[in-house]
Chains A and B, each alone.
Chain A
Amino acid sequence: MDIELSEEQRQVRDLCREFADAELKPHARRWDAEHAFPRQAVQKLGEMGLLGVAVPAEWGGAGMDSVSYAVAMEEISRGCAGTGVIMSVNNSLYCDPVLKYGTDEQKREFLQPFARGEKLGAFALTEPMSGSDAAEMRTTAALRGEDYVLSGSKNYITNGPQADVILVFAMTDPAKAHKGISAFLVPSDAKGFTRGKPDEKVGIRASGSCTVFFEDCVVPRRFRLGQEGDGFKIAMSTLDGGRIGIAAQALGIARAAHEEAVAYAKDRKAFGKPIASFQAIQFMLADMATEIDAARLLVWRAATLKDRGVRFSAEAAMAKVFASEMSERVTSKAIQVHGGLGYMKECDAERHWRDSRITQIYEGTSEIQRIVISSALLK
Chain B
Amino acid sequence: MDFDLSDTQAAVVATARAVARDVVAPRAREGDRTGRFPSDIIRELGKVGLLAVNVPEELGGAAAGPVAYVLAMMEIAAADCAVAVTMAVTNMVGEVIARFGTPEQAQRCCPRLASAEWLAGSFALSEPQAGSDATALATRAERRGDRWVLNGEKQWITSGDQAGVIVVWARSAPGPGAQGITAFLVEAGTPGLHVGRHEQKMGIRASSTVSLAFEDCAIPDSAVLGQVGEGFKIAMAALDGGRTGIASQATGTIRAALDAATQYARDRRAFGQPIAEFQAIRFMLADMRTDHDAARLMTLRAAALKEAGRPFTREASMAKLFASEASQRAVSKAVQVHGGYGYVDEFSVERLFRDARVQTLYEGTSEIQRLVIARELLR
Contacts and interface: CB of A to CB of B under 8 A. Distances in A.
Q: Determine if chain A interacts with chain B.
A: yes
Among B3, B290, B293, B298, max chain A CB count under 10 A is at B290
A72 to B, nearest CB: 15
Nearest to A282: B374
A321 B258 CA distance: 18
Interface in B304-319: 304, 307-308, 315, 318
B372 to A, nearest CB: 8
Contact of A283 (B2, B308, B367): B367
B153 to A, nearest CB: 29
Interface stretch (B80-88, B279-287, B345-353): B279-287
Interface residues of A, number: 42
A298 B289 CA distance: 12
Interface string B355-379: 0000000000001011101100110
A2 B6 CA distance: 10
A4 B1 CA distance: 6
B62 interface: no
Contacts of A175: none
Interface residues of B, number: 44
B195 interface: no
B318 to A, nearest CB: 5
Interface in A327-341: none
A374 B285 contact: yes
A378 B322 contact: no
Contacts of A315: 293
Contacts of A283: 367, 370, 374
Contacts of A304: 1-3
A3 B367 contact: no
Nearest to B258: A377
Given A373-B286, A374-B286, A3 B301 contact: yes
Given A285-B374, A287-B370, A289-B373, A321 B290 contact: yes
Contacts of A373: 286, 289-290
Interface in B84-126: none
B266 interface: yes
B373 A3 contact: no
A298 B1 contact: no
A276 B371 CA distance: 11
A9 interface: yes
Contact of A294 (B4, B298, B308, B374): B298
B294 interface: yes
A196 B38 CA distance: 71
Interface in A305-350: 315, 318, 321-322
A378 B367 contact: no
Interface in A262-317: 262, 265-266, 276, 279, 282-283, 285-287, 289-291, 293-295, 297-298, 300-301, 304, 315
A293 B298 contact: yes
A177 to B, nearest CB: 21
Contact of B1 (A9, A285, A295, A374): A9
A190 interface: no
Contact of A298 (B293, B318, B371, B378): B293
Contact of B373 (A5, A276, A286, A300): A286
A371 interface: yes
Contacts of A318: 289-290, 293-294
Contacts of A276: 374, 378
Among B286, B293, B300, max chain A CB count under 10 A is at B286
Contacts of B45: none
A290 B322 contact: yes
Interface in B247-288: 258, 262, 265-266, 276, 279, 282-283, 285-287
Given A298-B293, A300-B1, A378 B377 contact: no
Among A3, A67, A262, A266, max chain B CB count under 10 A is at A3
Contact of B297 (A3, A9, A279, A321): A3
B377 A370 contact: no
A6 interface: yes
Nearest to A68: B1
Contacts of B287: 370
Given A282-B378, A370-B283, A290 B290 contact: no
Contacts of B293: 298, 301, 315, 318
Given A283-B367, A374-B283, A378-B285, A3 B294 contact: no
Contacts of B318: 289-290, 293-294
A1 B367 CA distance: 29
A290 B286 contact: no
Given A282-B374, A285-B374, A378-B262, A298 B294 contact: yes
Given A294-B294, A374-B282, 10 more contacts: A1-B9, A1-B300, A282-B378, A286-B321, A294-B295, A298-B293, A304-B1, A318-B290, A369-B286, A377-B258
4 nearest A-B pairs in the assembled complex, by CB-CB distance: A282-B374, A374-B282, A297-B297, A373-B286
7 contacts: A3-B300, A289-B318, A290-B373, A321-B290, A370-B283, A370-B286, A371-B279
